[in-house]
Amino acid sequence: MGLLTITNWGNPIKAGVKVNRSEKKDFVAKLQDEFNNSSTIIVTHYSGLSVKETETIRKSMRENGAKFKVTTNSLTKLALANTNIKSIADLFSGPTAVAYSSDPVAPAKVSVEYRKKFKNFKIIGGAFEGEKIGEEKIVFLASLPSLDEVRSKLASLINSPAQKIASVLAAPAGQLARLVFSQSKEIENSSQVLGKENINGWFR
């Protein structure tokens, strides 16, 4: 009594493992904390992936500073309930895995990369800084440079005293990504004048 089955986060292909209700509560609390400390969350479907393919994605996420976990939808929805991204709860249907990080770009980059490599790996949607986003915005996030490159780019673009540049370099990842996002919208609005090549070049 009091036992339930959840998917083993370590290996999504194997059968579930049993945990008691106390462990379930801790499980949800930890996931909620990780979501609250993440800038970007990507929801994916992994049905049809082999164990080797899943481990390849997980390893690449880890090497890029992100986490990749197979989730139990009911527990994930509980974890989302007390966050600012509860609007993405409806994305958790079917065989889902979630990628997330405090780095706003890393999980998007890796997800898009392996969506191209593995036909059974699908991007469903996600969240960026509390905003629900679709695949198109995730692909855009993936096109952005790394955080170090963003910091360098912004520092070179801002015509400000040294102390202001220093504050940009020290800014949290989410703030930098939001700035690039807002800049990108202005640039995209001028795409007919500038051309896509110039727009893409700004971010490289």
Domain endpoint, select from 143, 159, 192: 143
Please report the pLDDT score of residue 103 as a whole number: 87
Q: What is the pLDDT of residues 76-117, one digit of tens each?
A: 999 999 899 999 999 999 999 999 998 889 999 999 999 999
Please report the pLDDT score of residue 82 as a whole number: 87
Same domain, 91 and 188: no
In this prediction the pTM is: 0.68
Same domain, 56 and 93: yes
Residues in the chain: 204
Higher pLDDT, 25 or 151: 25
Cα gap 66→88, rounded to integer Å: 19
The helix/strand/coil state of 191 is: helix
> The domain spanning residue 11 has which CATH number?
3.30.70.1730
Q: Using an 8 Å Cβ cutoff, are 178 and 129 in contact?
A: yes
101 is in which domain, residue-wise?
3-143
Number of domains in the chain: 2
Same domain, 28 and 120: yes
Q: Using an 8 Å Cβ cutoff, are 107 and 98 in contact?
A: no
pLDDT at 19 over 60: yes
Q: How far is CA 152 from CA 64, 76, 104, 169, 172, in A?
A: 19, 36, 16, 8, 14
Side chain identity at 165, as an amino acid letter?
I
| Count of other CB atoms within 10 angstroms of residue 145 | 16
Same domain, 124 and 35: yes
Cα gap 118→122, rounded to integer Å: 9
Cα gap 30→185, rounded to integer Å: 35
Residue 38, strand partner residues: none
Domain endpoint, select from 95, 120, 143: 143
